[in-house]
Structure 1
Amino acid sequence: MAAKKILGLGVVVVFLGGCQSWQFRDIEKLPPTAAIPEVSEPGKVDVWYFDGISGNNVQSMIDAEKFPDSPDEITELNQLRRAANRANNYGTLIRGYLEPPATGEYTFYIAGDDETQLWLSPSQSPEDIVRIASTMATPLDNFTRYSSQTSGIHYLEAGQKYYFELRHKEGGWDDHFTVAWSGPGLNQQVIDGPFLHSFAQTTPGTQPELTTEEAYELGYRLGFFDGEKGLSYNAQYPPLDEDGDGLYDNWEIYYGLDPTDPTDAMSDTDGDLLTALDEFWARTDPNLADTDGDGIPDGYEYAYGLDPTDPTDASRDLDGDGYSVLEEYLAGTNPLDPEDFPAPEATYQPGYVGQYFTGVNFDSFVYTQRDTAINFNWGSGSPSANMPNNNFSIRWQGWFTPPHTEGTREYTFATRTDDGVRLFLDGNLVINQWKNQSATTYTSTASLPAEIPVAVTMEYFESGWDASASLVISDTATGQSLNPENVVQALSLDSTSSDSSLNDGIDDLYKLRYGLPLLQPVADQVFNDSGITVLQAYQSGLHPYTLETVSEPDAPVTSEPSDNGASAGSVTLSWTPPLTRVDGSSISLSEISGYLINYGQAPTNMPQILEVPAGTTEARIEGLSSGDWYFTIRVIDTNGLSSEPSDPVQYSVQ
């Protein structure tokens, strides 16, 4: 009978000679294969107990509805003897294989309470078993009460395995069973571990029957394996397989398995959900979870019809949803279901997002930019050409991750501003000095758990005269200042998605881009003259202040240039990549080849060009002479097409 065997996530077709069945019993009552081990193991037998069956006779167990499909308990024994009382009204079934130590004549002895029977086959086949000894209740290990306790003489060959069954039924009072034998060089003794093998779906020592084509393929594969690994090839057929587990001995030795242990065929040493037998047929390494090094475990590739020895298939898109198999694996989605694909992930960059306003109380939003640190001294000037020298305000937002790795630790947050300042940690106001003042330092300490991000919001206004603002975070115990680029990050302004930190129905990306606080409730507030709330504007795709449409344009959105504390004559430009083309069709980040920045000292004359590669949203230009400079940027796609230039932005070099 041909049987298909499911191993791990792979399918291996194995042909078994003859159908296994129970003598005197309908084949429909075979035990479910799921309850029978795949491979026989030496040194033990499995014991099946069937509880709640009255009577003293084995036949009452056989007639029970639960027999043999539904044992109540399965345990192991390393000898054919159980001396301790277990219970009343139950039956016992042991199946396995005997392997005699020497060739010759053997006699078997049985004792038990209550009825106990020993059945033996002249081969490994369960179909040929016959009863060779039996007894009703006897004292423990007493083999002489009845003549039926002693078998006839059986000629057995060393190295061969013989199928046997022990059937036992207990009614009440004492319960036990023992099987002993005698033979060449053996005095009467209990049959124990060295001569026992557990029953399994695949009998020990058998070789699968292969078709001619399969045999040729196996031969070529084994010859190639031996040649590739520099091993001595043995051309005998069937291939060398001492323990009969279906694994070529040279293969087992090379990969550190035991060619005398049939149980290791079911091992999964690399945790890729493929057994060693699966790995043998899949031509993968049983000690490497990812044989081809493409980032996807062998078992996952095998399950979804990929080749675990081919690293190029990780980039395939099996369901046409725009995501590769590797992306789907990492996201935990189904690579064969186009409706199940990875959710876009928010991207973060070091530093803060700064929102710049005119007015001392965030009156009119001007622009947003990324600031790697809050450390500015504008003197009597302004943050940019589009900002006034006086009467402006800024809100910086980011996430501080405490760098210690365990427990809690105290950190000091020190602001120094001219003029007013407010500092929030996770939305809680910890510094509140919203007033006109010369440059003044204020501090607040917080005991924070390890590696858990804390929202940091610093609000600042400048009224007149000098303007400066800084925030320093330090370890309170050591006094060491922390580099904000290492411990602070903010949502990237060109991220394709984000969550809502406040769960108010408005995502963080919209708030950062259009001048709104992340952790202050603003959904019902109005920042325009038409009475449109922030939530309404967001839902309609409008700017909350101007009510202009904020769908992505075909050219990059540029932020105002910033010197970021750099030396005179240099400027940093940042921008947001487009998500649509001129005709309104979408453009993915993978379709962008790079950017071209034109700049010069007149809005109509920008002859200087800087090329910037894709994946970059910031560029630094140095060596600028004093005076006004103008900048535009264009997108170049992978087909060489160029967008229209963005609107010019201006920066004054002092």
Structure 2
Amino acid sequence: MSASRMALLGCALLMIGGCQSWQYRDIESLPPTAALPQTSQPGVVHAFYWENVTGTNVEDLIARDTYPENPDEIIELDSLSGPSGRGDNYGTLVKGFIEAPVSGEYRFFVSGDDETEFWLSPSENLEEATMLATVPGWTYQNEFDKYTSQTTPIQALAAGQRYYFEIRHKEATGGDHFSVAWEGPGIGQEIISAEYLHSLAMGPGLGVKEAFSLGYRVGFLDGSEGLAFNTDFPPRDQDSDGLYDNWEIVHGLDPANPDDAITDPDNDLLSAADEFLLGTSENNPDTDRDGIPDGAEFAFGLNPLDPADANADLDNDGYSNLEEYAANTAINDAEDMPEQGPEYLVGFTGQYFEGRAFDRFITLRMDETINFTWGRESPMPDVPLDYFSVRWVGWFTAPHSSGTTNYRFTTTTDDGVRLYLNNERVINDWTNHGPTDFSANVSVGAGDTIPVVMEYYEDTRGSVAILDITDVSTNQTIATAETIRTIDPTLSNSTDTDNDGIPDTWELKFGLNPVVSDASESVNSSGISNLEAYESGVNPWTLESLSDGASGTAPATEITGGKPVTLSWTAPLSRIDGTSIELSEIDHYVISFGQDPARLTETQRVDGPETSFEFDGLSSGTWYFTIRVVDTSGLSSPESDPVSVVID
């Protein structure tokens, strides 16, 4: 894209108020997976947080697809008391080990806001943990006697023995906190502090399965790299970052630097520690070379070591996982799919006008060929007998199978004619004359497609318009019905051949040229540009509001249906190239909306100073919205990611 067409950065945030469901996907914002220390650390435990979890019950947290493997945030705690005032609508999982100072009988107490559960295992085994105490509603901070369920039965603990525990906590709105206290031999009721806590571990200390996995990966790496066999286990890890030294060396990391375990040298959204656990390569963002980066595969539950899953269809929407990734649509959401390309019809789109210079657009029709000898007849009703003009638009695909071939395009017209091949004017005789032939050659590669535009005007008396195509090397006539296709203008699509901000289907339908940038031109007496007409949802010739949904939208007051919905957004502060943009440089916004996320055919223009718009009377069902911003020079941003709202 040239500097003159540099687009604005899209709106930073798009939100819906009202009866809504928020849908937003940005793969690069997915949180990294957690990497715990290799060995259990004394004095700390880890709290895992999941954001944007509605509801008051722990079950609302557990139901999340990302629970428990992919939290949004991990922090360390030095006591079993979580921070208060953290926010709303989140869930927490705390896990680690408790070690009793002396053998004896202990009781545990839990408090929290909202529902909070305390789980304890009779050993270090995670799978043996059971829920022993719960806050079914909410309590004040460190209030341990509101519900009888907050206190556990007596537990016999042995000195020096570690016991696995979990705290499961769900916050809705209002106050937020959780804490676990205990009492036992020589201990009055008190919050369990650091001296009795130990963190979980990633490495061999966690169990036989993890140790076996680590040993297998060590053997595979050392063997594939031809390294000497080392019987020591666990393998040497001089910086204690959980990545054994040979692995770091092979993957270009520093075995003496513990900080590189959380780096991401290959920018695949997985840290070095994550790559080590998954068996992926730290210096190759796409280990299985299937076109989908390792981090994206892991985030969507695919296997970054299996190239076959790129051709699978996780959400059964008819598009492969690779196609969805390439189109930046959600691999696991059947409603978010790549936009289909335009539908093509055989032949040309014929745009018919009054006047010899395309003075007033009358109508269009699909013409399979340009082979007309109208004589003294009119081409169709509403088109005058004399003084009319036609623009035919199509795309020619070379039928030969190899190399390049010259094709001769011959026009026969009475009167004027202009022919454009691959956006170059090759015939230009805009004069009155009887039936006359003009020819031009063009070289086209095998299977290549070029746009073909023929313009014609009729003055008076007889009228003829013919286009023939010939293979110069064989002198064979090429059937236009087999080689010419045109975009179906009745099906909205975002394809924009001339990159002028107006989709081809809209330009074809309303008498504009889809292969020549004519956005700044005006075909009406008021000086409203074609682009302004498109963005405002009006006919560019008559400026009448369009209500058929194929090109724009009627004013919001003309929509009938359900309750008001407010769309709000934040203004961009910079352009794609990083330069700043002042609010005074924003001319307006264009909201695209509809009930098919793949075809948002209706639009609403909103002036630059505004950052919200109310849609009143949308019909029932699910509506989808995107927004783009247009600056005072007419440059436009890409569409934002869609949001949706459900109208009851």
Q: TM-score, normalised by structure 1?
A: 0.40
